[in-house]
Amino acid sequence: MNPTKLIAALVAGAALTACGSGDINISPSTVSNVTNNGGGNGGGGGPSSVCGNRTVGSQVISGSEDGNGNCLYDSVFVGPNNNLTEDLLLRALPNGGAHIFDTSLFVGETYRTQADLVANGISEGGDGPTLTIEAGTTLAFTDQRNFLIVNRGSQIIANGTADAPITFTSLTDVNGTVGPEDVQQWGGIVINGFGISNKCEYNDVPRYAGGPADRDSGTNPALALGGGTECSIEAEGSAGDDESQYGGINNEDDSGSLRYVIVKHTGAEVGNGDELNGISFGGVGRGTLVENLQVYSTYDDGIEMFGGSLDITNFVGVYARDDTIDIDEGWDGVLTNALVVQSETDGNHCIEADGVGSYDSFAMNNPTGLQTIIDNGFNSRPVINNLTCIVSPNFPGTHDPGAGWRLREGIYPIINNALLISSFGVNDPTSANDNYCLRFQSDETLAAAAAGIMQINSAIVACQEVDRGATIGAFNGEQAWMEANSSQFATVADGTSIDASEASAPELALVEGDQNIYSTLWASSAVNGAVPAAQTAPVSVNGDPAPAILGAVEATNDWTVPWVFGISPDNRGQALWFE
């Protein structure tokens, strides 16, 4: 789309603002004087005073101001055939203006092989260009096939604040025509790093012969593979000009920072037909800083970690139509404080977590190799501390019915201080399986649970369809195993609902506040009309004092305010269905 057409689209969208329900409303003005500063969008003139600009050779290429406070960028500025190869700064625009991209934004080049990476001087985050985004900035994309890639070696520095978060969204959101739960307005974000994935062959050396990984030791077991360092996995969205790769041997890799960042209305098909997540983290290392991150209204998963060792602090996922938290390929990061809220009518798992990439192929064709990965500690071993899942017992859902935690394919997780609630709504009464809250699968994961390697410490579960009846050692069912290991279950009859926030002589009291997202103090909670079992008391993590709550957010320490979108009445498009 050329600048004139894009401006016309903005004006047309602005005309609908009054009757739309968009999440961001930029007050439009009549477009009568479009400032292009002599060139804009690569036209050969000088740079805009407020828009981002690049210097390519001797030419300065700039975004163009549209007269409404926005900056416009087309394929002359950046695109799938025109990757960003030098640093770019995008500043917060006056009066809430947006940087609007009529194409995808790819930061750095992608390389298929280790030899190509070495030849181009790319070995870690910081070798390539950096995209820096100021606090309070909005980036919007015009087309469903647009998305953002941060390639290996490149970095994104997006440091917002609680009062000025950074937003990645769609043009329909900016012009006010998007609905609160609309998805597939654009693709999403893909961040690729040099972290370890158990999907890699590493030059066909037997996988992970170096022994168990110790994520805090600073050592890198993959280096014991005799120099085999080849790891380049096609990332989501890879096809032709849209391709990118992730993976390597460096779980300490640094892809930049995301602080107070909101990603909205994603999940459209791009490149090879992939429906992107809100954010896909491919091989992202723990040198990357991610804290205070929200994904809102996405067609596919909220966040997905493919290997690597990224840590995330303070995550909010609202209205993901598939899995809100997805784990695979050996991710061993720590997720601290996670609030998941499903739509009343859509959404699959709060967590879907796999231990080994290509698990089915290994199990059928190379069970010895599968066991080697697990024995040497390269399966997914995440730690999740302070988790609240408010699951909708919807049926059938876009992808599958609403459900809780699916842990499988050789994963060894540790989950501490959790609330899993699916009692606000009425589930589908025709099946005892579709709205399950707990499903543990695969021989390796079940054996780890029986041996105490996989742990769930201090959890309360309030669901109608509780589990899928897995055999875990001597225990018949996930519920029985969890009850023997510091968890408690509320009694909720199948096909009924119990308000988990009843305030008067409560049968069940787990959440409170006007929006019912705050965890009730554990000492004041109720399960089956009584105080919770002593075994569910919150546990200390990493030597810190034990929290006063199970779950993610406490009323007296609400880290979601004011930046999170979709929950507080003064910062959302609709009320939460379970208020």
What does the pLDDT look like over 370-382, one tens digit per residue? 988 898 888 999 9
Rg of the chain over CA atoms, in angstroms? 24
pLDDT for position 418: 98
**Tokens (6 digits) for 233:** 């996995």
Phi, psi for residue 298 in degrees, rounded to 5 = -130, 145
How far CA 193 is from CA of 70, 151, 351, 377, in Å, comes to: 31, 7, 23, 20
Distance CA 529, CA 222 (A): 52
Residues written for the chain: 579
Average pLDDT over residues 163-175: 98
Question: What is the residue whose two structure tokens read 């017992």?
Answer: 393
Distance CA 342, CA 463 (A): 14
**Could you report the per-residue pLDDT of 259-281, keeping only the tens digit for each?**
999 999 999 988 777 789 999 99
Burial class from Cβ neighbours inside 10 Å (0-12, 13-18, 19+) for residue 167 reads buried
Give the H or E element holding residue 157: strand 155-159
Question: What is the residue whose two structure tokens read 């909005």?
Answer: 138
Residue 547 clears pLDDT 80, i.e. is over it: yes
Average pLDDT over residues 127-135: 98
Average pLDDT over residues 97-116: 95
Residue 217 clears pLDDT 90, i.e. is over it: no
Q: Which residues contact 542 (CB under 8 A, 6 or more apart)?
A: none
- Other beta carbons within 10 angstroms of residue 366's beta carbon come to 14
Of the listed ranges 200-209, 294-303, 364-373, the one predicted with least confidence = 200-209
Tell me the three-class secondary structure of 430-453, residue by residue.
CCCCCCCCEEECCHHHHHHHHHCC
pLDDT for position 24: 53
Q: What is the DSSP letter of 82?
A: B
Average pLDDT over residues 320-347: 98
Distance CA 264, CA 295 (A): 6
Give residue 515's identity as a one-letter amino acid code: Q
Of all residues in the chain, the percent with pLDDT exceeding 90 is 76
Residue 210 clears pLDDT 50, i.e. is over it: no
pLDDT for position 430: 79
Of the listed ranges 178-187, 333-342, 410-419, 422-431, the one predicted with least confidence = 422-431
Distance CA 341, CA 158 (A): 24
**Could you report the per-residue pLDDT of 221-258, keeping only the tens digit for each?**
444 433 457 899 999 887 777 899 999 989 999 999 99
Distance CA 189, CA 495 (A): 38
DSSP codes of every residue in 262-314: EEEEE--EETTTEE--SEEEES--TTSEEEEEEEEEESS-SEEEESS---EEE
pLDDT for position 476: 97
Q: Which residues of 247-273 are buried (b: 16+ CB within 10 A; e: fewer)?
A: bbbbbbbbbbbbbbbbbbbbbbbbbee
pLDDT for position 11: 36
Average pLDDT over residues 177-206: 87
The model's confidence at residue 56, banded by pLDDT at 50, 70 and 90, is: confident
Distance CA 202, CA 220 (A): 14
Find out whether 330 and 412 touch, Cβ atoms under 8 Å.
Answer: no
Between the CA atoms of 546, 551, 552 and 553, what dihedral angle is there, to the nearest 10 degrees? -90
| Of 242, 245, 294, 261, the residue nearest 105 (C-alpha) | 242
pLDDT for position 429: 77
Residue 546, classed as helix, strand or coil, is coil
How far CA 122 is from CA of 158, 312, 338, in Å, comes to: 22, 25, 33
- Other beta carbons within 10 angstroms of residue 466's beta carbon come to 25
Of all residues in the chain, the percent with pLDDT exceeding 70 is 87
pLDDT, mean over the chain: 88
Residue 3 clears pLDDT 60, i.e. is over it: no
Find out whether 490 and 461 touch, Cβ atoms under 8 Å.
Answer: yes
Residue 38 clears pLDDT 70, i.e. is over it: no
| Of 42, 243, 1, the residue nearest 143 (C-alpha) | 1
Distance CA 37, CA 107 (A): 25
pLDDT for position 205: 42
Q: Which residues of 289-300 are buried (b: 16+ CB within 10 A; e: fewer)?
A: bbbbbbbbbbbb
Residue 499 clears pLDDT 70, i.e. is over it: yes
Distance of CA 521 to the CA centre of its chain: 28
Distance CA 42, CA 438 (A): 54
Residue 369, classed as helix, strand or coil, is helix
